[in-house]
Amino acid sequence: MSQIIGTLGFPFITLVFYGWLLFEFKKAIKRSSLEASQQRKIFNRILIALIAWAVFVSGWSLSGMMQNFDRFPFNVAPVILIPFIGIVLFTFSTTAKEILLQLKPEAIIRIQFFRFFVELIIWALFLQKLLPIQMTFEGRNLDIISGISAPLIAWLLANQKISKTVVIVWNIACLGLLINIVTVAILSMPTPAQYFFNEPYNTAVAKFPYVFLPAFLVPLAYMLHFFSIRQMLIRK
């Protein structure tokens, strides 16, 4: 069972939670002041971009190029930099502002619950000796706190029991937890920058389908934080 969860977990979570985000986006776009043709164009572009990214990431990992750690950081750079740059540019665009004004704040935060399931899959991969212990919640990965706390923060926000400042602080704190585990993951790879030398080294995330973790799920986490923070800043 743990092998099935470890193998199919990341793609499954990607489909479910990106699907959820797209559903929320579609509702927000329809509520916006944008013309119907422009609404369809925006949604279709987002969908095409996600599909194209999935094709590229799958091809990059299956080609073996990403597993060539002798070429670090160039083997992992596309998977890390492309989504980051794209998300930052989109977050601060006028289109995103229009959508975020129509998107329920608690909806963005609620989706962060996916990180709870991510941690369970990482644990399953550790049990299969595919990932090192420091990448689990038993080691140096506390990101499960983000996933567990997300439904509570979403509920408190929806019922107006917390301020925008509290939401921003929560987002920043959870971004810190995300940066921590990403750093641990990089320092566990067989590169000149390696700090953790206990086996197994962190090479599984460069293989298909585990590549969906750095290519889709990590970007989903910080994208939702960026959206939430900007939303808190632009809402009256």
Task: Give pTM, 2 decimals.
Answer: 0.95
**Can you give 9-75 as a three-state secondary structure string?**
HHHHHHHHHHHHHHHHHHHHHHHCCCCHHHHHHHHHHHHHHHHHHHHHHHHHHHCCHHHCHHHCCCC
Find tokens 């293989």 and name the residue: 207
pLDDT at 125 over 80: yes
Mean pLDDT, the chain, integer:
95
Mean pLDDT of 206-216: 97
CA torsion through residues 232, 104, 39, 30, sign = negative
**pLDDT computed for residue 235 by the predictor:** 82
Q: Are 146 and 186 in contact (CB under 8 A)?
A: no
pLDDT in tens, 71-81: 999 999 999 99
Q: Residue 203 CB: number of other CB atoms within 10 A?
A: 16
Find tokens 């939401």 and name the residue: 167
Please tell me the distance from the alpha carbon of residue 205 to that of residue 131, in angstroms, as a whole number.
9
**pLDDT computed for residue 1 by the predictor:** 62
Greatest alpha-carbon pair distance for the chain in Å reads: 56
Q: Which residues contact 177 (CB under 8 A, 6 or more apart)?
A: 142, 143, 145, 146
